[in-house]
Structure 1
């Protein structure tokens, strides 16, 4: 295939790429200078506020206003809070409070923190309506299971982020909340009729469009009720006909990560990328480990598809123009914003308002905390959670391998607190907790995921999330002296 600099630059303009290290490698800097629209940062790129700020500044030195993005939802899915957990309570907690002013203020505070670090595009919020209790990928990332509640908080979160000068990216269109599978691993399918999907899944997306959201991210799910087969990301009937023509979205359509099995397992990342752009995606989020050689393969596939007539040059030009407009918007927003004011208390205040206690908490004079481990999803990653920072006597157990009787022996002279996370999804965790409660029926259970499975216990505490501030707010309720001192 002959070298075609014009088409190669247009193809570059559709790319949002990851890279390997704490410093931008040469191939990234050269790629940005040659038209790549931006980067997506992950845990492997982030070490400290000083390092992040310097890294992002270096990216902006090689081209005007590159898109510098990350998945920072607050709550369970955090990148800047990787070391100890997020300082923001997450969508489920905000939905439980149901104060749209709080949601807007929380996302504005988050946006200001991101902008101070040099980010200008946040792949958030999740505006999925979580109606499947066993949903392995959304859960606490959703504002809730009621479409109208999710819609109003989705709009508020978009307004808050964009008031801070950070472009929001509502996800996962057309809605990942009714799935029982994770699109990182397979292609989920939602079987529901068009009327229900329009009233439920699409309502929050229409709300964020009306609120002026700058970008929307697609889902690698099948939703035949709205037209077409295969991943939504690759389906023109959903991306172009529904989202653009019918719902009136004029911003940037971003693909979910193209290395996810739900979209590229059978056909490979380069071919999936061609089909995504042809369907109407403007910006290809390539994933976490798609580096220089694979990026070049995607670019070549896009150029080759134009030469073969499978993709029009006009479609590439359209995508490049939309991405350029988004870059101009973040550039203006960056120039207009002032450095952020203090916003540190917003997240903790929201987490405190979300906590619920069912039953009567007993005096906890000598607490012994048992954290029942639960696997973190791919989107969440390895982020600390639990009550350990605020209780000296804390143990983390595996419900598959540890013995409840050993825990009961260790806790014999203590007040027992059992901490779980989405216990409704894990029968082994339920069995372990029931084994403890059979001997200690007055024990306190703290649920740091969705409070769906409720055992018979002395008191039941719900945090609606496992972020650092969710844990701190629960520790305060439980009377932890360390937590109360921290809050002061």
Structure 2
């Protein structure tokens, strides 16, 4: 055999071994990771919220997706049951629950204390808009309605009002405010909005509404903008019946939806959906039960990724037209994250049982409620919610701030 040929073969084998070893070394180096890289990848893989969700029962998950009201000025057996057996995610209080500041602090403290065995803190919410929608005890000074604020049209003043409202309710144990109203007062026959709206001008509503929202958020209070997609052009009070708005999506995008879109672009993290039938968009369901409105418009077209809460499901718009349990199921299927049930223990139990059964029988997939649950737990974590007692109400200090604001009117 030719020596040159043999030497060539040997050289090729040698080069193959060298290249192969070099490749193995390079791959070994790529496989080597610093402790920092290992830790970062481990943190990415371990999402504490997902881990918490995996530990929860169906009852616990469904409970977090329901906020309820209560009767009287203190806890009773029904409230205890809502917390201990149904694991509700939060409470909303009304004037009927409030006598004076100290009683109110005792009540919010008692709710937190009752929830102590649960690892997830409560939403404690209230409608505090100013004007005629105010639940505050008489010891606090009263702010003017949004309509009067709109006439001043001062964004800095609106921010200060939002911040002061947040300080006020925080001092009483709340962590969520169903405000501001982003409805445009476009219908003079509207029986429910009126001066709760900043203006009939969408630019004023948008700018002042966003500043009020940011003022509320600046005190680490959740601001729930409402009433999506817009309650301004209705002539029926949804507390009593189901309003009908005969507008299509293009018409809504030209007016009613503009403040909500701008608020979303400016950091809105919670939206309340209204009980209004938009028959050109969904002739069968009001907005609170409508997938084309909640999923199609709010989520997809407006790009909202935050928390969606229904208006009170015990209002006439729902109770006069639907079974409340079935309505709650439809609302969750449509894309709502939290169902609000403000009145009567029997209604609260009916909603909780209906949702639990719908998950267990497969009508609502469990991964669907896990999506909502993730948003709920994340926002509670982001806002640092905790079931801590209130130490000082600071009525005089807050009233002084209110007084400075009232000098502008």
Would the TM-score normalized by the shorter structure come out above 0.5? Answer: yes
Q: Distance in 2 between matches of 1:118 and 1:85?
A: 15
Q: Distance in 1 between matches of 2:196 and 2:386?
A: 27
- Note if 1:59 corresponds to 2:111: yes
Equivalent residue for 2:215, pick from 152, 155, 160: 160
Alignment of 1:250-269 (within 5 A): 250-269=305-324
What residue in structure 2 maps to residue 322 of structure 1? Answer: 375
Shift of 1:6: 2.1
Alignment of 1:85-124 (within 5 A): 87-124=142-179
What residue in structure 2 maps to residue 425 of structure 1? Answer: none
Equivalent residue for 1:20, pick from 56, 71, 75: 71
Q: Using a 3 Å threshold, how does the CA distance of structure 1 residues 241 and 303 change in structure 2: closer, same or farther?
A: same
Range 340-349 or range 33-42, more displaced: 340-349
3-state secondary structure, aligned to 1:11: helix
Larger-gyration structure (1/2): 2
RMSD: 2.4
Q: Distance in 2 between matches of 1:9 and 1:20?
A: 23
Range 313-322 or range 41-50, more displaced: 313-322
More helix by share: 2
3-state secondary structure, aligned to 2:277: coil
What residue in structure 2 maps to residue 41 of structure 1? Answer: 93
Q: Is the 8 A contact 1:264 1:272 kept in 2?
A: no
1:427-469 per-residue CA deviation (whole Å, 9 max, x = no partner) reads xxxxxxxxxxxxxxxxxxxxxxxxxxxxxxxxxxxxxxxxxxx
Shift of 1:139: 0.4
Q: Is the 8 A contact 1:165 1:334 kept in 2?
A: no
Q: Is the 8 A contact 2:314 2:347 kept in 1?
A: no
Q: Distance in 2 between matches of 1:346 and 1:192?
A: 42
Shift of 1:80: 0.8
1:189-208 per-residue CA deviation (whole Å, 9 max, x = no partner) reads 11234333112111111122
Q: Distance in 2 between matches of 1:225 and 1:148?
A: 26
Shift of 1:230: 2.3
Shift of 1:168: 0.4
3-state secondary structure, aligned to 1:59: helix
3-state secondary structure, aligned to 1:157: helix
3-state secondary structure, aligned to 1:80: coil
Alignment of 1:126-141 (within 5 A): 126-141=181-196
- Note if 1:6 corresponds to 2:62: no
- Note if 1:274 corresponds to 2:329: yes
Q: Where in structure 1 do 4 or more consecutive aligned residues deviate above 6 Å?
A: 337-341
Shift of 1:338: 11
What residue in structure 1 maps to residue 251 of structure 2? Answer: 196
Alignment of 1:401-440 (within 5 A): none
Equivalent residue for 1:32, pick from 70, 83, 87: 83
Shift of 1:119: 0.2
Q: Distance in 2 between matches of 1:333 and 1:30?
A: 20
1:372-416 per-residue CA deviation (whole Å, 9 max, x = no partner) reads xxxxxxxxxxxxxxxxxxxxxxxxxxxxxxxxxxxxxxxxxxxxx
- Note if 1:71 corresponds to 2:124: no
Structure 1: 5+ residue stretches without partners: 355-488
Shift of 1:153: 0.9
3-state secondary structure, aligned to 1:342: helix
Q: Using a 3 Å threshold, how does the CA distance of structure 1 residues 25 and 321 change in structure 2: closer, same or farther?
A: farther
What residue in structure 2 maps to residue 290 of structure 1? Answer: 344
Q: Is the 8 A contact 2:216 2:222 kept in 1?
A: yes
Q: Is the 8 A contact 1:65 1:330 kept in 2?
A: no
3-state secondary structure, aligned to 1:299: helix
Range 34-43 or range 101-110, more displaced: 34-43
Q: Distance in 1 between matches of 2:386 and 2:110?
A: 19
Q: Is the 8 A contact 1:278 1:311 kept in 2?
A: yes
Alignment of 1:377-388 (within 5 A): none
Q: Is the 8 A contact 2:148 2:198 kept in 1?
A: yes
Q: Using a 3 Å threshold, how does the CA distance of structure 1 residues 243 and 17 change in structure 2: closer, same or farther?
A: same
Shift of 1:228: 5.1
Shift of 1:270: 1.1
Range 15-24 or range 324-333, more displaced: 324-333
Q: Distance in 2 between matches of 1:206 and 1:234?
A: 20
Q: Is the 8 A contact 2:141 2:403 kept in 1?
A: no
Shift of 1:16: 0.4
Q: Distance in 1 between matches of 2:104 and 2:293?
A: 36
Q: Is the 8 A contact 2:122 2:385 kept in 1?
A: no
Q: Distance in 1 between matches of 2:59 and 2:220?
A: 30
Alignment of 1:232-247 (within 5 A): 232-247=287-302
